[in-house]
Amino acid sequence: MGEIAVLFGGPSPEHDVSILTGLQAAHELLSSGRSTRAIYWTKLGAFVEVDPSLEAGAFLEGAPKGASSLTLTVGDGGGFVPEGGRLRAAKPLELDAVILCTHGGPGEDGTLQASLDLAGIPYTGPSLAGAALGMDKLAFGSVMVASGIPTLDRVALTASLEDPGFPGPYIIKPRFGGSSIGIDVVADLTAAKARLSSNPHLAQGAVLEPFRADLSDLQVAVRTYPALELSAIERPLRSGATGEILGYTDKYVGGAGMASAPRQLPADLPEEQSATILSLAERVAEAVGVRGVARIDFLANGDEIVVNEINTIPGSLARYLFIDPLVPFGRLLDDLLAEATARPTRRYSAAGADGLVLRGAASIAAKLA
């Protein structure tokens, strides 16, 4: 395989975590002697190429010193194009594939995936459709219900909502956000509606669910190449006994993103419950068309298990979850790259556009008369 790139950052609340994941991947590739490029997506939406050996501190003020501008172009001959010299036009970087480490926002909702499809660049992780579905909590919940997979009740929270169909207290989540940012617990519907104007993360939409203090978090990762494989089940730990939900600090503020978050791994669970969770994870992966590596989040107690949501580009690429059997990080990345080229997402076709309709059409002017 020739040159590859790791893409991270982006205009997202999870920008910083994305940098950590991207640098972990870039450093791992460098340590194995792979020819690696690093593409940093700034908070303002610009692409720049940076040294893949940099550490996280280099990005505290944005693009680090020595960064060179790139432009993502689409169409034939598209790709990441560096600034051209005075004597000749620049050509796109010759990349076999791009490892996407873009958490949240346009890096995980299908926007970036669509752009790379149009540019003809193979990439890891979810397809456009898979990314969009995973980011839309209301749509994802509807797919779970339609597939007969247990999940909590979930409705769109709007100012006109009168009866969500289930009693409070409630948990409010951004409809198109990640799994930790902008989430709140409120006692009643009036308080929930008030959050619509005070919480900026809900500006593009919000969902409302029943808050179940009796349910705790469990997570399992799935990877799809060369064959479907599930990780060990993790019980992430909350910071302090008073934490109502698993928060952003619990997950990410530990120096290495999700890889350093406190956890019980494997989770201490009854054998029957573990089997149920793994079976449900397979069903979720099939229902939403998982590609690459994803993390599926559950809520459970001793008697009940429900699917909460899916993270289609998980923090640290969920590398820390594959312990039985052990999947080294280098192998995980190699398999992601192999899938990117062996199972490309770009499948456009003009089949059927044979001119028949055009030949049989009268003048456009006549049709507008």
pLDDT digits (tens, 9 = 90+) for 265-277: 999 999 999 999 9
pLDDT value at position 258? 67
**Do residues 281 and 336 both lie within one domain?**
yes
Q: Do 22 and 33 fall into the same domain?
A: yes
**Is residue 301 domain-resident?**
yes
pLDDT-derived band at 241 (thresholds 50, 70, 90) equals very low
Contact call for residues 112 and 102 (beta carbons, < 8 A): yes
Sorting pLDDT into bands at 50, 70 and 90, what band is 238? confident
- Is it the case that residue 46 has pLDDT exceeding 60? yes
Q: Give the structural domain span for 233.
A: 126-152+213-343
- HEC secondary structure over 51-99: CCCCCHHHHCCCCCCCCEEEEEECCCCCEEEECCCCCCCCCCCCCCEEE
- pLDDT, tens digit, for every residue of 304-337? 999 999 999 999 999 999 999 999 999 999 999 9
Residues 134 and 277 in one domain: yes
CB 48 within 8 A of CB 83: no
Mean of pLDDT over the chain: 92
Contact 71, 81 (CB under 8 A): yes
Q: Are residues 48 and 70 in the same domain?
A: yes
Q: What pLDDT, on the 0 to 100 scale, is given for residue 160?
A: 97
Residues 234 and 310 in one domain: yes
Tokens of 157: 């929270």
The residue with tokens 């008697």 is: 303
Position 83 confidence tier, pLDDT thresholds 50, 70, 90: confident
Residue 180 has pLDDT above 80, yes or no: no
**Could you report the per-residue pLDDT of 244-293, keeping only the tens digit for each?**
665 556 555 555 566 768 899 999 999 999 999 999 999 999 999 999 99
- The reply to whether the predicted model has a pTM over 0.85 is yes
Domain shared by 72 and 148, yes or no: no
